[in-house]
Amino acid sequence: MVDVRKLIEYNEEVRHRYFDSLAKLPWEELTKNREASFHSLRNIFIHTLGAVVDHWLDFLRNEQLRTKREFDDYKTMEDIGKYMARVEARMRTYTASLTPEGLLKEYEVTNDLGEVVRVTAEDVLVHVFEEEVHHRGELIALLWQMEIEPPLMGWKYL
């Protein structure tokens, strides 16, 4: 069985490959509306950091530390890189402190159907992993449309 913390570490490694790849693009290409979920490559990447990782860390840690910046507040890749470093540091601190019992801690959340369901910390982390992978698929498709080969991301490449 794979420890969910390894999946989170894997996402961080692959996230850096995508950050480096996106950093090579002209800013206009990065911010161009491509009619995807959050319109641009920049916005999709920031969404995975904010509404996915940072948001769920606030939930799991009962904190309100998530950055509430708008997509257009990120004017450079350096801005995005600083935010990424902050979010990743928060996640590493959280996962390093998790015990096996901590992974089983239960929470109540309201799902997309408006139903209150019970989930564990591990369930939330699997969701964080999965949602980032989901949006990475969008980035892959958009890069292909631009005739750019996406970064390698398989386990054997780490």
* Cα dist from 78 to 19, 23, 27, 54, 125, whole Å: 10, 9, 12, 18, 27
Model-level pTM? 0.92
What is the DSSP track for the chain? ---HHHHHHHHHHHHHHHHHHHHTS-HHHHHS--SBTTBSHHHHHHHIIIIIIIHHHHHHHT--------GGG--SHHHHHHHHHHHHHHHHHHHHH--HHHHT-EEEEE-TTS-EEEEEHHHHHHHHHHHHHHHHHHHHHHHHHTT-PPPP-SGGG-
Tell me the pLDDT band of 152, cut-offs 50, 70 and 90. confident
- Structural domain count, the chain: 1
Query: Can you tell me the distance from the alpha carbon of 78 to that of 29, in angstroms, rounded to the nearest whole number?
Result: 16
Tell me the pLDDT band of 156, cut-offs 50, 70 and 90. low
* Close Cβ partners of 63 (under 8 Å, ≥ 6 residues apart): 57
Tell me the pLDDT band of 64, cut-offs 50, 70 and 90. confident
Domain of 66, CATH number, reads: 1.20.120.450
**Tens-place pLDDT, residues 30-61:** 999 999 999 999 999 999 999 999 999 999 99
**Tens-place pLDDT, residues 89-133:** 999 999 999 999 999 999 999 988 999 999 999 999 999 999 999
Enclosing domain of residue 86: 4-157
